[in-house]
Amino acid sequence: MEEIVLATRNADKVREIRSILSDIDVKILSLLDFENIPMVVEDGKNLRENAIKKAKMAYKYTHRTVIADDSGLEVESLGGLPGVYSSRFAGPKASYKENNQKLLDMLGDRPLEERTARFRCVIAVVDSDKEPKIFEGTVDGYIGFEEKGNSGFGYDPLFILPEYNKTFAELGEDFKNRLSHRAKALLKLKGYLKLAIGE
């Protein structure tokens, strides 16, 4: 069975990606399965640069096909913030709760029409030819006035899908794994992987 490495130490993200790719005959590892791989400084100007940087670093140390994603929440009225800083919006070691609270504080009492947002995911795949393949997915919604729901992680309790009027955290992981920005990018990636491994 072919091994693929997810270039992340985020256990929540690993669980989500494994679930979405569960129907492909590959063994999915993560950086949690390896020792002595340095932390990547995510100093890219955008999600794409960060994803490529993480994928190349992980390939250098594992010599296996690597999937790296960088995802971000872009709030229109905040000029696209938190964007590339999504995971560290409230500081380098900020919790999900602290990031969410900073976002709510910045939005204040702005009305719903000024709280439009987009989740964006960029996935980079690096394998033996070392030329990154890029897959992207987005989903549009808006930011609620308070956290709702107990599922998911990150900004999921704040991000509302208009067609359901519920947050990702209220809709649950199975639902999110069909409709999220990461799911859309991974669906494109899945087609590539099936061709690559001859399924």
The pLDDT score that the predictor gives to residue 195 is 77
Q: Which domains, ranges and CATH numbers included, belong to the chain?
A: 2-196 (3.90.950.10)
Query: Taking all residues of the chain, what is their mean pLDDT, rounded to a whole number?
Result: 92
The pLDDT score that the predictor gives to residue 1 is 56
The one-letter amino acid code at 131 reads: E
Angle at 21 between CA 16 and CA 23, to 5 degrees: 135
70 is catalytic: yes
pTM score: 0.87
The pLDDT score that the predictor gives to residue 108 is 97
User: Higher pLDDT residue, 5 or 198?
Assistant: 5
**Is the pLDDT score of 197 beyond 80?**
no
Q: Rounded CA gap, 166 and 154, in Å?
A: 16
pLDDT interval class at 175 (50, 70, 90): confident
Mean pLDDT is lowest, of 52-66, 101-115, 165-179, for 165-179
Say if residues 121 and 184 touch (Cβ distance below 8 Å): yes
Say if residues 166 and 149 touch (Cβ distance below 8 Å): yes
For the packed helices 11-20 and 181-196, what is the interaxial angle rounded to 10 degrees? Answer: 60
Out of 69, 70, 109, 129, pick the active-site residue: 70
The pLDDT score that the predictor gives to residue 81 is 96
Q: Rounded CA gap, 67 and 69, in Å?
A: 7
Strand pairing category for 26-30 and 2-6: parallel
The CB density around residue 156, as the number of other CB atoms within 10 Å, is 25
Q: Kindly state the tokens that stand for 23.
A: 């129907």
Largest CA-CA distance found in the chain, in angstroms, rounded: 53
The pLDDT score that the predictor gives to residue 120 is 97
pLDDT interval class at 199 (50, 70, 90): low
User: Higher pLDDT residue, 184 or 2?
Assistant: 184
Strand pairing category for 65-75 and 2-6: parallel
Q: Kindly state the tokens that stand for 70.
A: 């960088």
